Chain A
């Protein structure tokens, strides 16, 4: 079943988080205001990204990445019998124009450049078609989405989204299960590492902001990225060690109390509803 939505209601970042956490495979087509994007995923990893219908061949990708000169590119193209990337890669390796790691790095940089453009889109529609994967003979490189989301969040313009995700800065953050090992493999900037090192039961987000010398909007942006990458979440009240007594009184006052019926009442309800 396809997932359809609007970027205003469900951002590209949130969609990437869903694909990553649910380890989805398929094609995400985004129709932005001026252009469109196509992203392909396998088991929650980004494999390929094209923006504006531009489907660059490997030689063009490496030339744009500065790994290949125009003359080298022309020479390889002249030898190729098809436009398939695999043949071009083989010819590049044989000619000694590029190494295997040059090719992987070049393709990876191309994918990231394209996907980061999508982060800047705040309007448009999307359709995710599960299990539809078609990239012809293009070379794909699996890219971890957590890294993409954290890095991409730096480019987000919509400060409103950060405030919506984190309206109150007087909350504690908690790492999600498995976040430690994932963080070790990620490439993050200095500010992101500072926030990560201060997050946890010791500090509220406001305290992190003060200690890391980041503005409220900066810390919101970073926390937003880390939350979307499923590395952090806002701690529930029971996960926070000890609230102040005034906090506790305020929360208790606002709390909605349920009814505590007897077990017998619940089993009678269950029996009756089963019979309906």
Chain B
């Protein structure tokens, strides 16, 4: 049996737990804790170590999807979780410009240190006043070579499309390496 993994990361409140929950065939194993001082009135809990979902591909292959904590003090977790990953999904909250600064820092770190294919995802595109993927690309200075995809993490088709686009990106990077 072969196991492979993908990692979903992004700032606080970007929708990482929901993204994994939407696609996972098991209940997401989550390490959520009640927020002591909620930064977002609609969010009472946050992930403190990781989220964990699973998708059986066939008899010999299982995909595990890990979600990193969004809060800065758990930064060390993304490095641990990202080792040996197929690729990364960097999820952004399209309606929270107050999280863009942190998103920039995460993206800068990836551009400098991550030798892993990744896509950037503009989540919550169903909400009024969501910043479009193209606006987010400019605002966060995301290079043209990186895909910025629209997404609604509660919608299975939307999440499927993101994972497919990440897999196409991985294939392209393999073509580039060969």
Contacts and interface: CB of A to CB of B under 8 A. Distances in A.
Most buried by B among A236, A251, A265: A265
A212 interface: no
Given A2-B129, A273-B164, A265 B117 contact: no
Task: Sort chain A's interface into a size bin.
Answer: 35 or more
B170 interface: yes
B141 A233 contact: yes
A184 interface: no
A18 B135 CA distance: 7
Contacts of B141: 233
Interface string B2-23: 1011000000000000000001
B129 A1 contact: yes
Interface stretch (B29-37, B66-74, B107-115): B107-115
A6 interface: yes
A273 B143 CA distance: 27
B41 interface: no
A237 B112 contact: yes
Interface string A1-18: 111111011100010011
A259 B129 contact: no
A276 B174 CA distance: 25
A185 interface: no
Given A3-B129, A17-B138, A236 B79 contact: no
Nearest to B136: A18
B115 A259 contact: no
A33 interface: no
B77 interface: no
A141 interface: no
A268 B167 CA distance: 10
Interface residues of B, number: 47
A25 to B, nearest CB: 14
Nearest to B132: A1
Interface string A45-69: 0000000000000000000000000
B129 A268 contact: no
A78 interface: no
Nearest to B105: A164
A180 B137 CA distance: 22
A43 B71 CA distance: 38
Contact of A258 (B79, B115, B163): B115
Contacts of A273: 55, 160, 163-164, 167
A169 to B, nearest CB: 15
B97 interface: yes
A21 B134 CA distance: 10
B139 interface: yes
Contacts of A190: none
A272 B83 contact: no
B61 A255 contact: no
Interface string B116-130: 110000000000111
Interface in B163-178: 163-164, 167-168, 170-171, 174
18 contacts: A1-B130, A5-B97, A6-B97, A18-B135, A22-B134, A236-B111, A256-B79, A257-B116, A258-B84, A259-B84, A259-B86, A263-B171, A266-B170, A268-B58, A272-B57, A273-B164, A276-B23, A276-B156
- Ordered nearest first, which 5 A-B pairs have the shortest CB separation? A258-B116, A5-B97, A9-B98, A272-B57, A10-B97
Interface of A: 1-6, 8-10, 14, 17-18, 21-22, 164, 233, 236-237, 251, 254-259, 261, 263, 265-270, 272-274, 276
